Amino acid sequence: MNGPVILDRRSVLAGAGALIVSFSLRGASAQEQKPGQGPELPGSLAKFPYLDSWIRIDADGRITAFTGKAELGQGFRTAFQQIAAEQLDVAFEAVKMITADTKLTANEGYTSGSHSMQDSGTAILHAAAQARGLLVAEAARRLELPAETLRTENAAVVAPDGRRLGYGELVAADILHVQAQPTSPLKDPQNFKVMGQPVPRVDIPAKVTGGAAYVQDMRLPGMVHARVVRPPSYGAELVELDAAAVEKMPGVIRIVRDGNFLAVVAEKEFLAVKAMHALAAAAKWRESARLPNQNDLPNVLTKLPSQDFAIFSRNDSSVTGTRTIEATYTRPYQSHGSIGPSCAVAQFADGAMTVWTHTQGVYPDRQAIAEMLGMPQPSVRLIHVEGSGCYGHNGADDAAADAALIARALPGRPVRVQWMREQEHGWEPYGPAMVTRLSASLDAGGKIADWNFAVWSNTHSMRPGGAGALLAAQHMAKSFAVPAPKPLPLPEGGGDRNAIPIYNFPNAHVMHHFIAAMPLRISAMRALGAYHNVFSLESFMDELADLAGADPVEFRLKHLDDQRGRAVVEKAAEEFGWSRDRKAPPNRGHGFAFARYKNLAAYCAIASEVEVDRETGRARLVRAVAAVDAGQVVNPDGITNQIEGAIVQSASWTLYESVAFDDTRITSIDWQTYPILRFNAVPDSIKVHIINRPGQPFLGSGETGQGPAAASLANAIAHATGKRLRDLPISRKKIKDAIDA
Amino acid sequence: MARRLRIITGIAAVVLVAGAAAGFGVAWRPSIAAIAPPRPDTFNPDLVKRGRDLAAIGNCSTCHTVRGGGNYAGGLPVPTPFGTVFSSNITPDAATGIGSWPEAAFVRAMRSGVSRDGRHLYPTFPYDHFTNVSDADDRALYAFLMTRQPVSASPPANQLSFPFNFRPLITGWKLLYFHGGDVPSNVAKGAEWNRGAYLVEGLAHCGACHTPRNALGAERVNAQFAGGEVDNWHAYALNDTSHAPVRWTADALYAYLRHGWQADHGTARGPMAEVVSNLASVPDSDVRAIAAYMADISGAPAPDGKRPADAVAQSPPAVAAQADPAGAAIYAAACASCHESKRPLPYGGVDLALSTAVTSPDPRNLANIVLAGVGAVEGERSPIMPGFAASIDDVQMAALLNYLRVRFGKRPAWNDLDKAVRDARAAQAVSVAAREAPAESSQRGKP
Amino acid sequence: MITLKVNGQDHQVDADPDTPLLYVLRNDLELNAAKFGCGLGQCGSCTVIVDGKAVQSCVTPLVLLAGKQVTTLEGLGTLAAPAPIQRAFIEEQAAQCGYCIAGMMMRAQALLMRNPKPTDAQIRAELEPNLCRCGTHMRILRAVHRAARLMDTADAASDRSVR
């Protein structure tokens, strides 16, 4: 991210008439602006303190808000628009949002870790509030009135005598090209009109009427269609290719080969698909991959060399345990399983590469693609366009690289690449397999006296930054090596995310065994290690509650000091109708779980009722009740939608999902071989209760449900069957075998 | 196997009259006194486990469980030409199930087709096979069933027209067609074969579907395993008249029954999918025994691992296309991408030259599968084939079937394809609403 | 050239008869709604309506479509004048990423055309072939119920106007 960024944002965005030509990226590194001295600014303002990185007002009154984050279907485009509209005192519809684009928006890294609200939402909140303050000040100057006497409404500053100055009239020179101040004139939440409301999502109308809503829907003039032929397995080498017949196929424009990278370009999409099949048949590969035994993963993982970190230690020798239990929990590799295979459009023209992509990080992916192509970063522009939901690092970045590499071979022509189903399933970087070992002791009073938690895991991010993260770059003749994996730093962590207990155990020790070797291609998947760690921790809490003869909810509360945590636990229990005797209908069980995502983001407690068919082992989530505290609520329906989705998706992961492979190849390559939840397993009801915290910081809620949903379900299955199942997925067969045992 | 035995309708008037007269003396059997349902913990857990495996071999749940109903709570409609018989509740519910049945009553029902209260049971309950089940196995089955969750559910009343609703007439049918001791025994064939014979002719009741029935609904003794029918599916011939392009071997049968598919034959679907899904969980030795016996029945060659040379041959595509150009175009566009993908079974489409559905004299199975496809099994790796019922019309269907028959079947064209297509559509409409996926995946295991 | 009837109009399409309908809709007719999800008939994101029935367009070649009426989501309504099913999905906010939603809507529409008052169980059974990965299922179910009510109201209204 070095070198100057020379951008003319005005010509891109505004056209004539805008008085504000300044842009916070002007003449500075897009990576990070130098903030002024003083206390750290809130959210992403800390890195990009200029207000006009976030809010732009044109002379004609048009208002634009910017985010470097990518809308992935979480709905934050709408939430950010609400924030900007609220703090600027304009109608919701008056704000236009611009999302991740290396030419237009700040470098906010990845859209990940439930950080969007916290980073970008917070920046927009403060930038908008300060912008309004500047507009009021400017109006006060012009009207020669004290600022305190002025109010704002509907995109204008209004004087007590009724005189109005529209925002467009007020913007002049560079009044928003100033650095943010540490404090902002935020509106009193009591007066919110837009924030806190379930404003309908701005992206949904196009999505339900056939509008162009996705990168898959892009059609540029002269666009051609490409398909990639991937190797049959990791590391396979293309040893023979007789492409003559494919080149002669009607409509085929070009075969692009670079080492082990192979693709075909055709005028029409289905011709490209046919040519891809023909090309695949004409290619011979030497395979060398040696994949581990998928039925012995826990052993394989724990025997690999690891770097061991004691990440938490608390000691109180005055408390000792009397009864000790231990348990091991495992998780297989799991797939993001996007419904739409990854897609990108790229165009190489006049020495510049433009890529439209559903990457989660336009800047890091630009860096990687520029390195792969040997181009300076400023000559490469990445524009985020929505794709199918990704839930982490799926094939998006790789498809963008594929498109760029192919487009370079066809200067001038836009190239659209979409992966095939088997490519998305077979080549995406999976959520890593994990092993956790827990032991704990109860004291004489039935409280946890000591707690030991150990987790074995790979890194949880192999996202781009360097070219080596991209498949195309790995497969090129002049290939880029996969960068060395690194553990993600605490306090957020990766494999150890949420490994540190939120509970007040007097003695607690947490070990992170970081495994550098990656038998399968892996990277970030929704919630990272928190999914399995919370599943383990919260399952084990139930095992300990059983040992103590205690009610699981009371047992948790007994160990929980965090007041906001207690509040969601109590709320979920109450709304669920949790009863101490846990009387469930026949064949049903009740389960409970709680976590605060990363111990930093949103709080979430979930109570579940599950039905288990004792003959078949089929478990079905019947109903779930969640309570969530995501700080100040911007769009309650957005949060509800995220938590509902987390519960259903986590149920699918937890009951069904594991990536299958043989000695050499990935064999989970479609929905036959990687089954996920279908409508016949959808719960009867899901209820989400939000505890709003007006004035408190935003806490991301996009991932907070994954872990609690899994543990709550597992605990309910244990309650229904009397059997504790610790190996994910908790499949029908495992449940049946446990019942029959 | 489900709604199978619908044909067991066997209570045609002639028989009934003759039978009623002849069998007057045995028309009533004594009632056996009701008991209070025994507590589940009074049964030996090992016995219960054995019963579980036997119930799977007997495919009990298929007929005695309906979608949305309790396990083994009955209520499945079994249509017959004489009306509809509903399967009974065999959970240990005292009032509506068999909770008040002592073991002796259960054994008598299995052995003789008589209810606890002395009424004769309709032979939709295949006691013509179950009579061969040993006392020990009956006891295990009893232990298993009596330890299930009791479900209070009364099946709807049978909808049989007079005189078929007159139960004593079943006596006549029994006199004519029901006799025990059908299990062949041959010491020279070895223990596995004899175990297979016991299972196949008894609890597994394979002949109930795979043996044709006479006009009176009884299995034709001189055509055992010559092919029957169930739910508008043709249950293929398993004897030496089998139309399988590659002859079945014991190993192939074992793999097919155990995993639900076999590379030389394809994937189980239709009613057979439920059978193999049950067999996925029973002892390996029993599946092997069934396979050994059935391979012998089919006159299987020694398993040398080779396919007969002509098995996978097919008519040249061009020749076949001449026979039905429309069908050829549909096959090339809609079928070939999967069925010629070279992806191995069960997730790739079977090479249709290996498919008995194409070589069978009866086109219904092929029609059924094209229309309905193969649905996903909940949460388990399992083959999916899209159904074409909504996109292919009857004329196109007939053309496609005709082409497949010529190209891959190398047999004379099927007659009356229009009717086969109509029947398949009707059956498909019924099955869409009918049942959920098999309880246990038949396709579990390695993808 | 093949003649294809889509959303009430005849289109001359220059494509081979083995071309799946999906590619023709997306590329030749530039319709966005039907999505490529698997190309194998396993996920339902390409679902359209052919002669009143839900069909997976990715496994439906042109050769099967002579003389048949194809309807896509675009043919039901527009942004300005959304059809009941579209209104229902907007009102229930029944999407996250939304990639599967067009297919869901078309399958639900086909159900509602032949069964205007489906039970919850019937809706679930009908939608079984269609996958959603975001976990928006609860909202989709609510939206289909709402669409049934909206259609009912619309019918009643038009009945009144006729009388």
What are the tens digits of pLDDT across the range B91-147? 999 999 999 999 999 999 999 999 999 999 999 999 999 999 999 999 999 999 999
Give alpha helix (H) positions in A362-427.
362-373, 396-408, 421-427
Distance of CA B160 to the CA centre of its chain: 23
For residue B353, the domain's CATH number is: 1.10.760.10
Distance CA A343, CA A358 (A): 8
The total number of residues written for chain A in this structure: 741
Question: Is residue B292 pLDDT above 60, yes or no?
Answer: yes
- Torsion sign (Cα): A672, A674, A679, A684: positive
Domain contains A87: yes
Beta strands in A368-506 (DSSP E): 380-384, 415-418, 434-442, 448-457
Distance CA A238, CA A233 (A): 11
Regarding whether A501 and A358 lie in a shared domain, the answer is no
Rg of chain B taking only CA atoms, in angstroms: 22
Distance CA B22, CA A515 (A): 81
Terminal Cα distance for chain A, rounded: 59
Regarding whether B50 and B131 lie in a shared domain, the answer is yes
Domain contains A304: no
**Across C88-100, average pLDDT:** 98
Question: Position of tokens 């690289």?
Answer: A401
Q: Which two tokens stand for residue B108?
A: 């008598």
Segments forming the whole domain that contains residue A359: 215-288+336-427
Regarding whether B164 and B25 lie in a shared domain, the answer is yes
Taking CB atoms and an 8 Å limit, are C137 and A648 in contact across chains? yes
Residue of B68, B334, B390 lying closest to C61 (CB–CB):
B334
Closest among B238, B181, B164, B234 to B14, alpha carbons compared:
B164
Question: Is residue B17 pLDDT above 60, yes or no?
Answer: no
Regarding whether A380 and A247 lie in a shared domain, the answer is yes
Residue of C42, C100, C135 lying closest to A645 (CB–CB):
C135
Q: Are B351 and B335 in contact (CB under 8 A)?
A: no
Q: What is the pLDDT confidence band of residue B231, given thresholds at 50, 70 and 90?
A: confident
Query: Is the backbone of residue C52 left (phi > 0), alpha (psi -120 to 50) or beta?
Result: left
- pLDDT at position B31, please? 95
More confident residue, A221 or B447: A221
Summarised one tens digit per residue, pLDDT across range B166-195 is: 887 888 888 888 887 678 899 999 999 999
Any CB–CB contact under 8 A between A588 and chain B? no
Regarding whether B163 and B123 lie in a shared domain, the answer is yes
Domain contains A389: yes
Regarding whether B72 and B20 lie in a shared domain, the answer is yes
Question: Is residue B3 pLDDT above 50, yes or no?
Answer: no
The mean pLDDT values, 10 residues at a time, for chain A of 741 residues are 35 33 37 59 94 94 96 95 98 97 96 93 97 96 96 96 95 86 94 97 97 97 98 98 96 98 97 97 97 95 97 97 97 98 98 98 98 98 98 98 98 98 98 98 97 98 96 98 95 97 98 96 98 98 98 98 98 96 90 98 98 95 98 98 98 98 98 97 98 96 97 98 98 95 85
Question: Position of tokens 């011939």?
Answer: B237
- pLDDT at position B165, please? 82
Q: How many CB atoms lie within 10 A of CB A572?
A: 29
> How many domains is chain B built from?
3
What letter represents residue B324's amino acid?
D
Regarding whether A423 and A438 lie in a shared domain, the answer is no
- The reply to whether the predicted model has a pTM over 0.90 is yes
Regarding whether A454 and A601 lie in a shared domain, the answer is yes
Regarding whether A531 and A405 lie in a shared domain, the answer is no
Summarised one tens digit per residue, pLDDT across range B309-344 is: 455 667 788 888 888 999 999 999 999 999 999 999
Regarding whether B195 and B61 lie in a shared domain, the answer is no
Domain contains B330: yes
Buried b (16+ CB within 10 A) or exposed e, C91-125: bbbbbbbbbbbbbbbbbbbbbbeeeeebeeeebbb
Summarised one tens digit per residue, pLDDT across range C110-143 is: 999 999 999 999 999 999 999 999 999 999 999 9
Residue of C17, C55, C128 lying closest to B391 (CB–CB):
C55
Q: Bridge-partner residues for B77, per DSSP?
A: B86
- pLDDT at position C1, please? 86
Domain contains A469: no
Q: Quote the minimal CA–CA distance from C35 to chain B in Å.
A: 17
Domain contains A683: yes
Domain contains A318: no
Distance CA A455, CA A511 (A): 6
Any CB–CB contact under 8 A between C146 and chain A? no
- pLDDT at position B73, please? 96
Summarised one tens digit per residue, pLDDT across range A277-327 is: 999 999 999 999 999 999 999 999 999 999 999 999 999 999 999 999 999
Give alpha helix (H) positions in A266-395.
269-282, 297-303, 362-373
**Residues of B in Cβ contact (< 8 Å) with A733:** 440, 444
- pLDDT at position A290, please? 96
Domain contains B312: no
Q: Quote the minimal CA–CA distance from C163 to chain B in Å.
A: 36
Regarding whether B191 and B134 lie in a shared domain, the answer is no
For residue A110, the domain's CATH number is: 3.30.365.10
Which of the listed residues B177, B208, B229 is the one where a domain comes to its end?
B177
Any CB–CB contact under 8 A between C72 and chain A? yes
Q: Can you state the percent helix, strand and coil of chain C, rounding each to 5?
A: 45, 15, 40
Regarding whether A80 and A171 lie in a shared domain, the answer is yes
ipTM of the complex: 0.96
Q: Are A508 and A450 in contact (CB under 8 A)?
A: yes
Closest among C139, C141, C154, C163 to C76, alpha carbons compared:
C154
Distance of CA A417 to the CA centre of its chain: 23
More confident residue, A415 or B229: A415
Q: Which two tokens stand for residue A11?
A: 């010509």
**Across B23-51, average pLDDT:** 88
Regarding whether A346 and A279 lie in a shared domain, the answer is yes
Regarding whether B292 and B223 lie in a shared domain, the answer is yes
Regarding whether A387 and A502 lie in a shared domain, the answer is no
Write out the DSSP string of B212-279. Answer: -B-TTS-B-GGGTTS-EEETTEEE---STT---SS---HHHHHHHHHHSEETTTEE--THHHHHHHHH
Distance CA B262, CA B246 (A): 11
Any CB–CB contact under 8 A between C63 and chain A? no
Give the percent of chain B with pLDDT over 70: 86
Regarding whether B243 and B360 lie in a shared domain, the answer is no
Domain contains A351: yes
Give the C-alpha distances (Å, rounded to integers) separating C8 from A81, A558, B216, C11, C74: 38, 66, 54, 10, 11
Question: Position of tokens 């045609």?
Answer: B12
Domain contains A112: yes
Which of the listed residues A148, A172, A202 is the one where a domain comes to its end?
A202
**What is the CATH T-level fold of the domain C2-162, as seen in this structure?**
Ubiquitin-like (UB roll) (3.10.20)
Closest among C36, C32, C27, C37 to C4, alpha carbons compared:
C27
Segments forming the whole domain that contains residue B126: 13-177
Domain contains B5: no
Taking CB atoms and an 8 Å limit, are C60 and B385 in contact across chains? no
Regarding whether A169 and A60 lie in a shared domain, the answer is yes
Regarding whether A511 and A388 lie in a shared domain, the answer is no
**Residues of B in Cβ contact (< 8 Å) with A422:** none
Write out the DSSP string of A508-525. Answer: EEEEEEEE---SS-B--B
Regarding whether A243 and A182 lie in a shared domain, the answer is no
- pLDDT at position B430, please? 64
Regarding whether A455 and A370 lie in a shared domain, the answer is no
Regarding whether B416 and B336 lie in a shared domain, the answer is yes
> How many domains is chain A built from?
3
Regarding whether B32 and B132 lie in a shared domain, the answer is yes
Structural element, H or E, at residue A117 = none
State the chains in contact with B (3 or more Cβ–Cβ pairs under 8 Å).
Answer: A, C
